[in-house]
Amino acid sequence: MANPDVTYTFANSTTADATEVNTNFTDLINSLTDGTKSLTIDALTAGGAAAFSGNVTLGNATTDTITFTGYVSSNIIPSADASYTLANATNSWISLYLDNGATDGRAVYFNGETATFLKGTADGNRLDTGGFTSVRLDTCALEVYNSATKASINSSGEIAYAGAYTPEWLSNVGFVNYTTSETDDSILIQGAGGSSFSTSNPGHVTLPGSTPGELTTAIVTADVAIDLTGAHWGLGTGGDETDAILCVYVINNNGSLAWGISLRPDLTTILNTDSSTTQTSVTAWGDMLVNTALASGTWNCRRIGYFKANFDDTGGASEDLWAVQSGAGDIVLTSEIPVNNETKENNESENAWPVGTSTYGDESTLVLTPGIWELMAEAKATNSGSTTAGLMRFGIGETSGDNAADVSDFELDEYNTGTSGARWSVTLAPKRVTVTATKSYYLKIRADAASLSGYLIRSAFRAHRIL
Q: What pLDDT is stored for residue 408 in this prediction?
A: 66
Q: What pLDDT is stored for residue 291 in this prediction?
A: 98
For the domain with range 343-465, which CATH number is right: 2.60.120.1340, 1.10.3300.10, 3.40.50.620, 2.40.50.100? 2.60.120.1340
Please choose, from the candidates 301, 312, 304, the residue with its C-alpha nearest in 3D space to the C-alpha of residue 236: 312
- What is the rounded distance in angstroms from the CA atom of residue 129 to the CA atom of residue 114? 11
Q: What is the DSSP string of 230-259?
A: T--TT-TTS--EEEEEEEEEEEEETTEEEE
Q: Sort strands 288-290 and 275-276 into parallel, antiparallel or unpaired.
A: parallel
Q: What pLDDT is stored for residue 307 in this prediction?
A: 97
Residue 22 is classified by DSSP as H
Q: What pLDDT is stored for residue 200 in this prediction?
A: 83
CA distances from 398 to 331, 365, 448 (A): 34, 10, 21
- What is the rounded distance in angstroms from the CA atom of residue 16 to the CA atom of residue 2? 26
User: CA Rg, the chain, in Å?
Assistant: 45
Order across the sheet with 174-178: list the strands.
174-178, 186-190, 224-227
Three-state SS sequence of 344-367: EEEEEEEEECCCCECCCEEEEEEE
Please choose, from the candidates 342, 348, 346, 335, the residue with its C-alpha nearest in 3D space to the C-alpha of residue 306: 335
Q: What pLDDT is stored for residue 144 in this prediction?
A: 64
CA distances from 79 to 76, 82, 83, 398, 446 (A): 10, 10, 9, 94, 108
Per-residue pLDDT in tens (0 to 9) along the chain, 467 residues: 567 777 877 788 888 788 887 887 787 777 767 666 666 777 778 888 888 878 888 888 989 999 888 898 998 888 898 888 888 888 888 888 877 777 776 788 877 777 888 888 877 778 888 888 777 767 676 666 665 555 566 666 666 555 667 888 888 999 999 999 999 999 999 999 899 999 888 898 999 988 888 998 898 999 999 999 999 999 998 889 999 999 999 999 999 999 999 999 999 999 999 999 999 999 999 999 999 999 999 999 999 999 999 999 987 777 899 999 999 999 999 988 887 888 999 887 776 665 555 667 777 899 999 999 999 988 887 777 766 666 777 788 888 877 777 776 666 766 666 677 777 778 888 888 999 999 999 888 777 655 556 677 788 899 998 88
- What is the rounded distance in angstroms from the CA atom of residue 233 to the CA atom of residue 436? 8
Q: What pLDDT is stored for residue 96 in this prediction?
A: 80
Q: What pLDDT is stored for residue 395 in this prediction?
A: 82
Q: What pLDDT is stored for residue 143 in this prediction?
A: 66
**Residue 102's CB: how many other CB atoms inside 10 A?**
7
Segments making up each domain of the chain, as ranges: 1-40, 170-333, 343-465
Distance of CA 90 to the CA centre of its chain: 43
Q: What pLDDT is stored for residue 157 in this prediction?
A: 64
Contacts for 246 with CB less than 8 Å, ≥ 6 apart: 228, 233, 261, 262, 263, 306, 307, 308, 309
